[in-house]
Structure 1
Amino acid sequence: MAGGLKEVRERIKSVINTQQITKAMKMVSAAKLRKAQNAIVQVRPYADRLNRMLSNILSNLDGGANTSFGTAREVKNVLVVVITSNRGLCGAFNTNICKETTSLINEKYGKQRRDGNVSMLFIGKKGYDYFRRRLRDVTFITDFIDVYDNPAYENVSRVARARMDEFSTGKYDAVEVVYSRFKNAATVFPTAEQWLPVPKMETPAGVKVAKADYIFEPDQQQLLETLVPSILQLSFHKCVLDTQASEHGSRMTAMDKATENAEELLKALKIHYNKKRQEAITTELGEIVSGAAALEN
């Protein structure tokens, strides 16, 4: 019986130590979340508005002005950019992004995958760890995994510019970005977006939409060559910031739940320990009484 009590005591001590770790991780994630949330809240409205403006402009182009980033062509080679975290312990955060990526490839680019024309670029280590064991017919690009640790605009825009150059030269006919869209600490959405070519505004069937008459200064072509790459780089940067905020929110929520589970487990263990201890005391008292009665006889 004493051996059983010792095991329960050791387990209680282990759960207390684990609970202290989860509490500390929750506090660290909460501090990081505030910083990441401020960053995405400031960038997202600006980036979303610029994206709508870009789609609108490309949908209303006329004359000889054009940009390769808005030109759709037959999709033969595809690049899928997967943005995940470098660390785990954040619930199903990374798994959901990977599932969204798998669904995108299988449903939208199944033919290209069968032809061996799908490439995947990873920002963050967890995405690569997931897919390297599951996809044997896809080309992996792992040169930019560490960009996730330092998501400054200069670092992220360098990756975006390289992908834009590859699209312009015809190396890829479509570029998709899969990331996690942040709403709040408890709610994030795995999202797949077509980054290139820039999707044009959708017009409902049977609805006539007046064509916007833009006045370009300087000339239309020069403005497109400057404006479009800048907006695309900002959009790419927003995806990375969204994912970072989602990671910290998911980890904070997961560690909070783990702390609550540890508390419930502690209560159950303490009740079990008290029962075992009471049983041991009762048994010892019974043995003492029996021994005393035997001596009297």
Structure 2
Amino acid sequence: MPSLKEVRNRIVSVNSTTQITKAMKMVSAAKLRRAQDAILQMRPYATKLNELIATVSANTEVGATSPFTTVRQVEKVLVVVVTSDRGLCGAFNANIIKAALAVINEKYPTQAAKGNVEILALGKKGGEALQRRSFKVNDTYMSIFQNLNFAHARSAAEAIMTAFSEGKYDVVELVYNEFKNVATQILRVDQMLPLVDKKADASKASKIDYIFEPSEEEIVLELIPKAIKMQLYKAVLESNASEHGARMTAMDKATDNANELLRALKIEYNRSRQAAITKEILEIVGGAEALKGD
């Protein structure tokens, strides 16, 4: 049985841990509200933009001329991995890393064996983990969450688009967590480039005789880059909200576990204290009896 001092030290330590986890939960809850508002405002715009591209593409052939719809034989692959900068958020980052590795091993094993798979890390945890696994990691935008805004996401998207159009990559995969609620994040793996044929999404739409102003080519070729940038920005916002939700849930569970441990330690402390008091009483009684015998 541990000594009373050891149990007291553990109680003090667990109390400190409980205070930290409670504080982290409160901070994550405050950040989650802002992050959730941002993604809920973004989703309708992104959805409508994709619907617009799908409808227009179904009635024109202009989209096929875009460099971002060009399908090439896959030799070089870029995997965009969106994780957090910090841990203590449960399996949030581990799930993303596992999904990225699954995509590489299942879809692009030949390219990976040749060293033709590169990682673009958005968030430090994913970049550091995949670097340890000997992948080539582009860390240019690893700190995107330190100052999260559309300008930084647009810069990253433009760099990806330029590299794809120049033939540096033949396909770009995007791996991220989609926010559903505080306790649930949905793992997403989307093909970012080349763009999936939008005509399939608009198959139910009837043929419409559009009047384009300016020309249909200008409209579609301008909408496609916007859609790609929005896709990346939306993924980053989804991941940001998911991170705070996951951390809030993890810290809530950690606080509950710490409270359970604290209750167990207090019971152990009381038992040890009672045993020590009983032992002292027995020693006093034994000494008194010995004195009587003398």
Contact 1:65 1:221 in 2 (8 A): no
Which structure 2 residue ranges, 5 or more long, are not aligned?
none
1:84-95 equivalences under 5 Å are: 84-95=83-94
Q: TM-score, normalised on structure 2?
A: 0.93
CA distance in 1 between counterparts of 2:256 and 2:204 reads 56
SS at the partner of 2:217? helix
How many residues are paired up?
292
SS at the partner of 1:70? coil
CA distance in 1 between counterparts of 2:10 and 2:54 reads 59
* Letter of the 2:152 counterpart: N
Distance 1:187 1:65, change over 3 A: closer
Identity value in percent: 52
Contact 2:76 2:117 in 1 (8 A): yes
Distance 1:165 1:132, change over 3 A: same
Shift of 1:60: 4.3
Q: What residue number does 1:192 align with?
A: 189
- After superposition, what is the alpha-carbon deviation per residue over 1:35-59, rounded to whole angstroms, capped at 9, x for unaligned? 0000001001211231233244335
Q: Does 1:66 align with 2:54?
A: no
SS at the partner of 2:68? helix
Distance 1:60 1:114, change over 3 A: farther
SS at the partner of 1:194? strand
Q: Select 2:174's aligned residue among 177, 182, 187.
A: 177
CA distance in 2 between counterparts of 1:11 and 1:248 reads 29
Q: TM-score, normalised on structure 1?
A: 0.92
* Letter of the 2:162 counterpart: D
Distance 1:129 1:151, change over 3 A: same
Q: Select 2:162's aligned residue among 148, 162, 165.
A: 165
Which structure 1 residue ranges, 5 or more long, are not aligned?
none
Q: Does 1:279 align with 2:259?
A: no
SS at the partner of 1:122? strand
CA RMSD in angstroms comes to 2.0
Contact 2:54 2:199 in 1 (8 A): no
Q: What residue number does 2:79 align with?
A: 80
CA distance in 2 between counterparts of 1:195 and 1:219 reads 26
Q: What residue number does 2:97 align with?
A: 98
Distance 1:89 1:281, change over 3 A: same
Q: Select 1:149's aligned residue among 132, 146, 150.
A: 146
